[in-house]
């Protein structure tokens, strides 16, 4: 799978190798429906190099009576053809492009892991381009934001 980052940034040729769930934890107080109020996503930045690259993606999910944490390791292979040392900005943009490839798989893995009689957790479809994923980014359900502003 390739990427398209514009003309000013070195575009890496990369292949998605896979991902795996490294660890997870759940905490649930009552038998409540799991409608996620907010979640926090953070990616450990790495310096991309030719060959296999792996980085961790952590997600923390919160709702009333339910908390969960997932830690995934993502694997990509970067092509060696025309590779040159990346600037910090190019490195970040290329790693974000990789995240856009892996995030749908992570969403599905979380839905599968939480699929029981209390309803599965469904995260929204989002693009991670331009977000501060390396320092961490929070997402809050829109109806909660409106309700908090009116209070």
Structure confidence by residue, pLDDT tens digits, 69-119: 999 999 999 987 767 788 888 888 889 889 999 999 999 999 888 887 667
Q: How far is CA 11 from CA 15, 27, 45, 75, 81, in A?
A: 13, 41, 17, 18, 11
Helices (H), the chain: 88-113, 142-150
More confident residue, 125 or 33: 125
pLDDT at position 8 is 59
pLDDT class of 9 with cuts at 50, 70, 90: low
pLDDT at position 149 is 58
Query: Which among 63, 65, 64, 61 has a CA at the least distance from the CA of 28?
Result: 65
pLDDT at position 11 is 74
For residue 91, being part of any structural domain is answered with yes
CATH number, position 61: 3.10.420.10
More confident residue, 134 or 64: 134
φ, ψ dihedrals at 23, nearest 5°? -155, 160
**Token pair of 34 as six digits:** 């799991």
For residue 9, being part of any structural domain is answered with no
Contact assessment for residue 5 and residue 97, using Cβ atoms and an 8 Å cutoff: yes
pLDDT at position 72 is 97
Range of the domain at 120: 14-150
Q: How many domains are there within the chain? A: 1
For residue 49, being part of any structural domain is answered with yes
φ, ψ dihedrals at 28, nearest 5°? -135, 125
For residue 1, being part of any structural domain is answered with no
């Amino acid at each position: 799978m390739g990427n398209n980052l514009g003309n000013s940034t070195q575009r890496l040729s990369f292949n998605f190798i896979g991902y795996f769930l490294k660890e997870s934890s759940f905490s649930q107080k009552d038998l409540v429906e799991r409608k996620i109020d907010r979640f926090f996503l953070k990616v450990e930045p790495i310096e991309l190099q030719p060959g296999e690259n792996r980085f961790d993606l952590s997600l923390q999910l919160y709702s009333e009576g339910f908390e969960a944490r997932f830690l995934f390791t993502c694997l990509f292979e970067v092509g060696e053809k025309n590779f040159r040392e990346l600037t910090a900005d190019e490195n970040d943009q290329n790693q974000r492009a990789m995240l856009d490839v892996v995030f749908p798989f992570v969403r599905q893995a979380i839905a599968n892991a939480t699929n029981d009689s209390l309803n599965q957790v469904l995260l929204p479809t989002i693009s991670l381009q331009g977000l501060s994923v390396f320092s961490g980014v929070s997402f809050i359900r829109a109806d909660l934001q409106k309700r908090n502003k009116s209070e």
